[in-house]
Amino acid sequence: MLLDGIKVGIGITGSFCTLETILIEIEKLVKEGADVYPVFSFNVNNLDTRFGKAENWKKEIENITGKSVISTIQDAEPIGPKGFLDIYAIAPCTGNTLAKIANGITDTPVCMAWKAHLRNNKPALIGISTNDGMSANGKNLGLLMNMKNVYFVPFNQDDAIKKHNSIISKYELLIPSILEALQGKQIQPVLV
């Protein structure tokens, strides 16, 4: 198993249209031996959308991982002092969350887990999913690409004709991205 014994934190934010895809990738992480700790943003934890009910997403993730979802800032904060994660990934990472972590804002469980984890000088990974990645959030993307211990799941425009500024990660590359980041390397190419 590729990730046997590796402790992976996975922050899940409100790109609701990608949650089903992320569930599949989390199942793959678990099958590869990863010990997965899910962290939900307030929106994922509380909002029912046309893509599903919050409580159902929570039950599915807890079923897959065997862990309770971390859904409060208070419960995310100990990730830092306890230092138990080997890697923390935010996938999907919305533009809102991208802007927050690029600018040190820790007002959600996902952002607090990011800050707490990075203090331990361990790798963190971003699986982007935002409609403004090549416009308003371009500067935040650039800031994070230049930060120590921050890596990206490869991404591309998800609909270059209808949504010119929208980018989304190739989530099927989550595991290879984790493996590279654990070695201190950015999987290439990052822009696909």
Query: What pLDDT digit, counting tens, does each position of 90-126 carry?
Result: 999 999 999 999 999 999 999 999 999 999 999 999 9
If one counts the domains in the chain, the total is 1
Give yes or no for residue 179 having a pLDDT over 90: yes
Cα separation, 187 vs 40, in Å, equals 25
What's the mean pLDDT in 171-189?
A: 98
Please write the tens of the pLDDT for every residue from 153-174: 999 998 889 999 999 999 999 9
Q: Nearest Cα to 115, choosing from 14, 27, 9, 23?
A: 9
Which residues span the domain enclosing 125? 7-182
**Looking at the domain assignment, is residue 12 inside a domain?**
yes
pTM over 0.95: yes
CATH code of 61's domain: 3.40.50.1950
| Each residue's pLDDT tens digit, 47-62 | 999 999 999 999 999 9
Residue 64 placed within a domain: yes
What percentage of the chain's residues is helix, strand, coil (to nearest 5)?
40, 20, 40
Instruction: Work out whether the CA dihedral 18, 109, 71, 35 comes out positive or negative.
Output: positive
Whether omega for the bond prior to residue 189 falls within 30 degrees of 0, making it cis, is yes
- Within a domain: 190: no
pLDDT at 10: 98
